[in-house]
Amino acid sequence: KPNIQMPCYEHKQYRNGLKFCKQILSNPKFTEHGETLAMKGLTLNCLGKKEDAYELVRRGLRNDLKSHVCWHVYGLLQRSDKKYDEAIKCYRNALKWDKDNLQILRDLSLLQIQMRDLEGYRETRYQLLQLRPAQRASWIGYAVAYHLLEDFEMAAKIVEEFRKTQQVNKVDYEYSELLLYQNQVLREAGLFKEALEHLTTYEKQICDKLAVEETRGELLLQLDRSEEATEVYRQLQERNPENWAYYQGLEKALKPASIEERQKLYEEAWVKYPKGLVPRRLPLTFLTGEKFRECLDCYLRTNFSKGCPPVFTTLKSLYHDKEKVSIVEELVVGYETCLKNGGKEEPPTTLLWVQYFLAQHFDHVGQQTLALDYINTAIESTPTLIELFLIKAKIYKHAGNIKEAARWMDEAQALDTADRFINSKCAKYMLKAGLVKEAEEMCSKFTREGASAVENLNEMQCMWYQTECALAYKSMNKFGDALKKCHEIERHFVEITDDQFDFHTYCMRKMTLRSYVDLLKLEDVLRMHPFYYKAARTAIQIYLGLHDNPLTDDNKEHQADAENLNDKELKKLRNKQRRAQKKAQLEEEKKNAEKEKQLKNQKKKKEDDDEEIGGPKEELIPDKLAKVENPLEEAVKFLTPLKNLVKNKIETHLLAFEIYFRKEKYLLMLQSVKRAFSMEPSHPWLHQCLVRFFKGGTVDTVFIQHYYKTTCFSLLSLALQ
Instruction: Pick 288 or 618 by higher pLDDT.
Output: 288
Note whether residue 627 is domain-resident.
Answer: yes
Note whether residue 21 is domain-resident.
Answer: yes
What residue type is 523 in one-letter code? E
Give the rounded percent of residues in the chain with a pLDDT score beyond 90. Answer: 64
Angle (nearest 5°) at CA 539 between 537 and 543 = 120
- DSSP reduced 3-state for 565: coil
Backbone angles phi, psi at 352, to 5 degrees: -60, -45
Note whether residue 359 is domain-resident.
Answer: no
Count of residues for the chain?
721
pLDDT by residue (tens digit) across 535-556? 999 999 999 999 988 877 654 4
Task: Give the per-residue pLDDT at 560.
Answer: 44
Phi-psi region of 670 (alpha: psi -120 to 50; beta: other; left: phi over 0): alpha
Task: Give the per-residue pLDDT at 600.
Answer: 59
The mean per-residue pLDDT over the stretch 641-645 comes to 93
Note whether residue 131 is domain-resident.
Answer: yes
**Residue 632 is part of a domain; what is its CATH number?**
1.25.40.1010
The mean per-residue pLDDT over the stretch 578-586 comes to 73
Q: Tell me the pLDDT of the chain averaged across its residues.
A: 86
Task: Give the per-residue pLDDT at 15.
Answer: 72
pTM summary value: 0.84
Show the domain range for 491.
Answer: 455-551+622-646
Note whether residue 99 is domain-resident.
Answer: yes
Please say if the pLDDT value at position 94 is more than 80. yes
Identify the CA nearest to 145 among candidates 135, 136, 155: 155
Note whether residue 348 is domain-resident.
Answer: no
Please say if the pLDDT value at position 81 is more than 60. yes
Kindly write down the DSSP assignment for every residue of 628-640, as one continuous string: -S-HHHHHHHHHH
Please say if the pLDDT value at position 307 is more than 50. yes
Q: Work out the pLDDT band at 171, boundaries 50, 70, 90.
A: confident
- DSSP reduced 3-state for 527: helix
Give the rounded percent of residues in the chain with a pLDDT score beyond 70. Answer: 87
Q: Structurally, how many domains does the chain consist of?
A: 2
Q: Work out the pLDDT band at 489, boundaries 50, 70, 90.
A: very high
The mean per-residue pLDDT over the stretch 101-112 comes to 93
pLDDT by residue (tens digit) across 423-469? 999 999 999 999 999 999 999 998 888 788 888 899 999 999 999 99
Identify the CA nearest to 109 among candidates 90, 89, 123, 93: 123
The mean per-residue pLDDT over the stretch 499-510 comes to 91
Please tell me the distance from the alpha carbon of residue 373 to that of residue 543, in angstroms, as a whole number: 44
**Residue 62 is part of a domain; what is its CATH number?**
1.25.40.10
What residue type is 122 in one-letter code? R
Identify the CA nearest to 284 among candidates 321, 233, 231: 321
Note whether residue 245 is domain-resident.
Answer: no
Note whether residue 443 is domain-resident.
Answer: no
Helix H, strand E, coil C: the string for 664-718 is CCHHHHHHHHHHHHHHCCCCHHHHHHHHHHHCCCCCCHHHHHHHHHHHHHHHHHH
Distances in Å between the alpha carbon of 6 and those of 9, 614, 659? 5, 18, 50
